[in-house]
Amino acid sequence: MIALLTAALVSGAALAAGPPVPPSFDVSGGVTLADEDTLDVRVDLLNRGGDSAAVAVTGELAGRYDAATIAAVDAGDTASAHLRFPRGVERPGVYPVVLRLDYAPRVALPGAAVAESRRAFLLLNLGASASPAVRLTVPGVSLRDRVLLPVTLESADAAAHRVRVRVLGPRGLNAERARDEVEVPAAGRATVEVPLLRGSVPRGSPQGVLVVAEALDGPVARTSTATTIVEVEADPAWMPSLRIPLAVVGVLLLVAAGLIEWRRLSPRGPSASESAPERAP
């Protein structure tokens, strides 16, 4: 049995109340067999925000990657991308298709980032249904350049589990380690701290982060997911506020220096002694 269980978008900020607004997508999808050995995963994007330019959709399933591009999505419209993955998996069960959406408004919005990046996911039931093996608790954190994100895991069925944990951010916000393997006891909790590093994400912005935990034990694959918000702190330095005034002063100084140099090098008119007529003796 192959079925789509759920889909979700990890959003870093609520949609703005009034126009203009950036694109904002609801994610859903479906899965079919493209052929005997290939899954066709359809990713549907419903745009509840403003008009979007092209959307790049990158997906990963069980270590295999595929990508597709949607030309554009108008406000209120739904468009779809198709990703292909090998059908074979190690065990039947529930697998995540981890997605990253990269897009930009059709028309640049004043004061907004030119490009946006968001995480999303689909859960696929491949051959067997299975409830999550663990429960995840992930708090929100503030990030300047590097921060530890605590991920707490607790058994959901009173059995011990070995779990692979992945923390996935948008483009420009990266986990220092690609994955962690955690031993979760039958009773009690286990916590792993995952370092997050700020790359190109803009300062002073909220960013959505997706956490995926996959149980590595047992005959059936079982997946848990959680989302949180990372608040990227504003630039702490005072110099950035002076960048524009300093740039203006610099331009004015360059213009003044150019004028002085031009006046120095420009030919002058004849001197008074040269222009006065000679008198006859």
109 and 45 assigned to the same domain: yes
Question: Rounded mean pLDDT of 99-116?
Answer: 82
Burial 91-118 (b: 16+ CB within 10 A, else e): bbbbbbbbbbbbbbbbeebeebbeebbb
pLDDT of residue 110: 67
pLDDT of residue 113: 61
Strand 146-155 relative to strand 189-198: parallel, antiparallel, unpaired? antiparallel
Separation of CA 10 from chain center: 9
Question: Rounded mean pLDDT of 75-93?
Answer: 95
108 and 3 assigned to the same domain: yes
Sheet holding 180-184: strands in order across?
Answer: 141-143, 222-232, 206-215, 161-168, 180-184
Burial 229-238 (b: 16+ CB within 10 A, else e): bbebeeeeee
94 and 58 assigned to the same domain: yes
DSSP helix/strand/coil, 91: coil
How many Cβ atoms are within 10 Å of 22's Cβ, its own excluded? Answer: 18
Name the pLDDT band for 216 (thresholds 50, 70, 90). Answer: very high
pLDDT of residue 115: 83
pLDDT of residue 37: 93
CA distance 93 to 105: 38
pLDDT of residue 56: 97
Name the pLDDT band for 251 (thresholds 50, 70, 90). Answer: confident
Q: What is the pLDDT of residues 23-72, one digit of tens each?
A: 999 999 999 999 999 999 999 999 999 999 999 999 999 999 999 999 99
| Alpha-carbon Rg for the chain in angstroms | 29
Q: Which residues on adjacent β-strands are paired with residue 106?
A: none
pLDDT of residue 16: 43
CATH of the domain at 104: 2.60.40.10
Name the pLDDT band for 245 (thresholds 50, 70, 90). Answer: confident
Q: Which residues contact 275 (CB under 8 A, 6 or more apart)?
A: none
174 and 78 assigned to the same domain: no
160 and 232 assigned to the same domain: yes
CA distance 208 to 231: 9
Of 99, 52, 111, the closest CA to residue 79 belongs to 52
Q: What is the pLDDT of residues 110-121, one digit of tens each?
A: 666 668 999 999
pLDDT of residue 13: 61
- Is residue 141 over pLDDT 50? yes
103 and 191 assigned to the same domain: no
Q: Which residues contact 272 (CB under 8 A, 6 or more apart)?
A: none
pLDDT of residue 239: 56
Domain extent for 162:
130-237
Which pTM value belongs to this model? Answer: 0.79
Q: Into how many domains does the chain fold?
A: 2
- Could you tell me if residue 28 is inside a domain? yes
3-state secondary structure 23-37: CCEEEEEEEEEEECC
